[in-house]
Structures are given as C-alpha cells and as structure tokens.
Amino acid sequence: MEKSPQTTAYELPAPVSRREPRKSLLRYLPFFLFPLLIIVTFFKQPIAGLLPGQQHHDASLKSQCKQVDPLFPSKLDGRLGLMFSYLSTPEFRSKSIVRLSEAVQIPTESYDDLGPIGEDPRWETLYDFQKFLKDTFPRMHEHMQPEVVNTHGLIYTWTGSDKDLKPLLLLSHQDVVPVPNATVDAWTHPPYSGYYDGKFIWGRGSSDCKNQLIAIMESMELFIDAGFKPKRTIVLSFGFDEEVSGPQGAGHLAPFLFERYGKDGIAALVDEGNSFTENWGSVFAAPGTGEKGATDVHITIRMPGGHSSIPSDHTSIGVLSELITKIEAKQYPTFLTDDNPYLGQLQCGAAHAADFPKKIKKLLGNHEPHSRRAKPDYLAIEAAKESRGIKYLMQTSQAVDVIEGGVKVNALPERVTAVVNHRINNGDEPEMIWQRITALAKPIAKKYNLTLHSFDGVKEEAQSISLWNSSTTMRAAPTTPTDVEKTTPYSVLAGTTRALYGTDIIVSPGTMTGNTDTRYYWSLTKHIFRFGPGYDPSVPTGFGNIHTVDEHISVVNHIGMVKWFTLFVRNMDEAELDD
C-alpha cells in the first residue's frame, strides 16, 4: 500500500487512545476461553451424539452390520464336551501335527497340461494320498459312506436322523500347486518334508489346503469316537485338480451330488477361502460370500516366417507386443455394486472398527447403487487407495501371464501366443472384456493386413490374429445371503466364529479375487462360504505364502480350524434355519 503524500513516518499520530481499550479487553480473554475449552473437551462426544444427523448415520451403519452373539452348542458336557476339551491337549496337538505333516509329504501336484486320468502317470500320487486317508482315519471309512467319483474324487456321507433337514456340505481339495525344481533350494525346509519346527508345519499344501481337509476329517473322526449322532446329514466332497480349475474333480463331484440332492438341496457349503485379516485397527473374519468371475483370453498371431537377416518391418512378436501394450495401457474402472460383498465389509468397518477412515465413512453414507457406465464411484476409488489387494476387490483385473513365440534366433517367428487372465468384478461381464480386446485388436489387424478372428471359434489361421476364451470362463458368483435378523447359515457361521475366537472379532461379508471349487456347486445351495476358519493371533493375517516358496502354517491355526469345524457342525445340526 502506498503512503499518503501528506504524512511522513515521524508525523504519525500516537495510537495510545485507540489501543488502550483493546489491551484491557485482551487482558480478560483467557478468562472467557478457559471455561469454553473445558466445555468442548469434556462434552464434545455427548454433544455430538445429540446431533440428529450424526446419530441417525451411526445407527444406520450399525444396522447394516449387526454382530451376532457367540453361538455355542446346547451341550458342552458329556462325551462331546470331553471331545472338545481334548482338542486343547498336548496329546491331540502331537497327533494332529503328525497327520498334517504326513499329508504334506505326499506330492499331489496338479499341472496345467495333465493328460487323461489313467494315461498320465502324474495322477498316480493321488492313490497314495487316498490310502493315507484311509489308514489315518479308519473310523470315518467304517461309519461314513465313502464313494469315489471319476477315479480320484472323494465323497463321504454321514446320514442324519432327520431326512427333512438339508445336508451340510464341507469341501476341500487333495491337490497342490507344483514346486518348480528351480525353487527347491530357496525353501527353508524341503517343500515335501512336512517339517515341524515347534510352531509351524512347512511344505506345499500345508496352508492350501490339506490343512482344511485334514481338519475336517479329524473333526469327523472325533465325532464318531464321541458317539455323536447327527440329525442333519453331513457330506464331505474332496476334489483333486482344484489348482487347475477343477474340471476332473469338482466338475464331476458337483453333478454327482446334484443328482442326489437337487437344486438348492444343500443347507450350506464351506470351502477354502478368506481367513482373518487386520483392517482399520480391528480383526475381521470375512468369509468369502462372493467370488469374482474369470476369463482367460488367448491371442494367437500367425505371420510369414523367413530368415531373420531379411526381416519384415514387424515380426509377429512385435505385433503381439503392440497389442499387449494397448491392453495394459488402460485399466478397468473401479466401482462397487450393491451385491459386491466388499461393500458389506466397508459397512462393518464403518460401524465397528475404531480406526475406520472418516473420508470413506462419509462417502459410504452417501453411496448409491452403481454401475460401470455411471459416473465415477468415489467411494470405491477412495477405498482402493488403501492397497492394491483392496483395489482388485472392486475392479476387473487383467494380467498377461503367458507368452510364447519364436524357436530360433535366425528365424522369423511364424506363430506367437499370449494369454491374458481376467478376474471379473461384480457388475462386469466376460462379453465386455471380449469386446474391449476385439476393439483394440481390430486396428492392429488392419494396420498389418491380418484377418481378425474374434471369438468366432477359429483359434488359428495363417495371416491372422485369433482371439478366443478359455472353457473355464465364469461370471461373478451369486452373492451369499448375510441376513442375521433370523437364523441363517451366515448367522450360524458368524456366531460360531465369535464363540471360538471372542467378540473382538468382527464378522463381515468378504469377496474372493481367486476362484475355488465352489464354482461348480452354485446350483446346490445359495449359502456358500469360502472360509479358512483357523486363526493364530501371533501370526500375521492374510493368505501368507500359499503358491510360493516356504509355504507353512502354525499349529495353533490348524487346531483352531479343527475346533471351529466341531462347533460349526454341531451348531448347524441344532439350528432351525429360517432360510
């Protein structure tokens, strides 16, 4: 600001008469502020609670994720009570360690290129595993009805006394992911040693998922020994090629059971899946009540060969690279539909987790039904910032996982292929993915004078780009009901989990980015839970190191799983289900 030309610095009037009253007021300001600070500090929460908008919002969130009371079987005494107590003894611990260790020592590996059963010798290890199960669990094989489906698929049926009750179905799989020879030396303990170090059992399959299979069978064996007489029929179904999408195992077992029980003929199904996770300062049990879809898009490019000393401007590898670059240049949108179970997990976090982000809670309160063609879903976008794993619960993923091409350094590649794996978000469809890749391939095919075969059944042709999808394509799974206002399989599962692990555990819906054998069982029941119910609070939560080097599981986790199945089976047996 410019100075007035009539006034110099030394001619400014003295400000005493103007400032003196201000000083006297400031002198008393602390006496007014201190009581106000006391009121705000001590009465902030009660005052906030009186605000009608906030009160309504908090009540609404809690109503969207009501936590059920712990659910125990009606009788925990007698032989069944002694049986449950036995699970905490050093004797059971020692025997259970041996059983899971020996199961891990049998390398029941599944390979993508397995030949027909009976012809490919790599299936043969399953005979060893079946013999191990029969020798290890003799009471089950005597008292339950064992059946074999498609040579290696196993079904065990324990017929209940009340034929009007729908059966309970428990799943697992016998096979494991192969261990590449190049990684064997990287393991702390050999991958098929089943080594026990005093806390963990090490080896391929120890946590995916021979632990669940052995836990189920241990609980059944103990039930028989304790004289348990189920009212509700119990069915066990164990596939043997889940790691390669399950066409020979669950793909035959599910139709076999469908013929016996019919559509919606099963009360509930539990398979491997989500376990316990730490989110927002709380521990969640988030059984998979939904599962993303999947489609593998195969790309084959055929172009003329020749000597590499006289190359074309672009080889088939270069053309494929151009297409892959375009595919990866843009991701699919992030959004939450109302049937995505992760929306339920966010609601549970907002209602019960102490450290739930305020911004996400605010967006959650304003969230509306969303489709991928609508405006940006700011709730999903904000929630996705927490981690890549969280993002892909709300977004279709794409991953170029396989590429093959070229046979010799001085020969132009005549044929190249790639496979792009997609896991499909709720609200997206396989057809949308196929249309997108077709749109990206069309100008490239025109640019290089190639014929485009887009999902028309032609997998390969000279001078062409061929696009085709795998036979294992599946849409996002139907969402399991999670009503707890009445007695439902979900309420029984939630009550069982809180009974075993305590009421600090928040039970919420969860979604699976991967797929399990449940894909074949959708018609048998709408109550499908993908859940690994073992928990060890001393070990980091999550999927850990399945499918990679140093797979292992804690014994506390495994025994917790056995305890959970014994409680869940009994709670389901006593439940008068409303749904």
Helix axes 341-352, 52-64, angle to 10 degrees: 130
d(Cα 417, Cα 459) in Å, to the nearest integer? 11
Which one-letter amino acid corresponds to residue 450? Answer: L
Burial class (CB in 10 A: 0-12, 13-18, 19+), 403: middle
What residues form DSSP beta bridges with 419?
298, 402
| Pairwise CA distance, residues 276 & 261, whole Å | 32
Catalytic residue among 175, 221, 428, 517: 175
Q: Could you give the CA distance from residue 490 to residue 87 in angstroms, rounded to a whole number?
A: 25
SS3 letters across 54-86: HHHHHHHHHHHCCCCCCCCCCCCCHHHHHHHHH
| Angstrom distance (rounded) from CA 141 to CA 135 | 9
Sorted by sequence, the CB contacts under 8 Å of residue 307 that are 6+ apart come out as 410, 411, 412
Cα 174 from chain centroid?
Answer: 19
272 carries an active-site annotation: no
How far is 337 from 394, CA to CA, in rounded Å? 9
CA 46 to chain centre: 40
> In the numeric block, which tokens belong to residue 301?
């490019």
Catalytic one of 221, 242, 428, 573: 242
78-86 vs 555-574: helix crossing angle, rounded to 10: 160
Strand partners, 466: 300, 453
Whether the Cβ atoms of residue 176 and residue 213 lie closer than 8 Å to each other: no
271 annotated to bind ligand:
yes
Q: Which two tokens stand for residue 549?
A: 């080097």
Would you say 147 is a known binding-site residue? no
Are 283 and 277 in contact, with CB atoms under 8 Å apart?
yes
CA distance 184 to 191: 7
Q: Is 242 considered catalytic here?
A: yes
CA dist 264 and 279 (Å) reads 34
386 annotated as a binding-site residue? no
Burial of 74 (0-12, 13-18, 19+ CB in 10 A): exposed
> Per residue, what are the HEC states of 262-316?
CCCCCCEEEEEEECEEEECCEEEECCEEEECEEEEEEEEEECCCCECCCCCCCCH
| Long-range Cβ contacts of 186-191 (<8 Å, 24+ apart) | 186/549, 186/550, 187/549, 187/550, 188/550, 191/551
The two structure tokens encoding residue 371: 């489709």
Q: Is 208 a known ligand-binding residue?
A: yes
- Was 243 annotated as part of a binding site? yes
One-letter identity of residue 305: G
- 209 prior amide bond cis, ω within 30: yes
Asked whether 288 and 270 are in contact (CB, 8 A), the reply is no
Q: Distance (Å, rounded) from C-alpha 264 to C-alpha 111?
A: 32
Binding site listing for Zn(2+): 173, 208, 243, 271, 547
Binding site listing: 173, 208, 243, 271, 547
**Residues assigned a catalytic role:** 175, 242
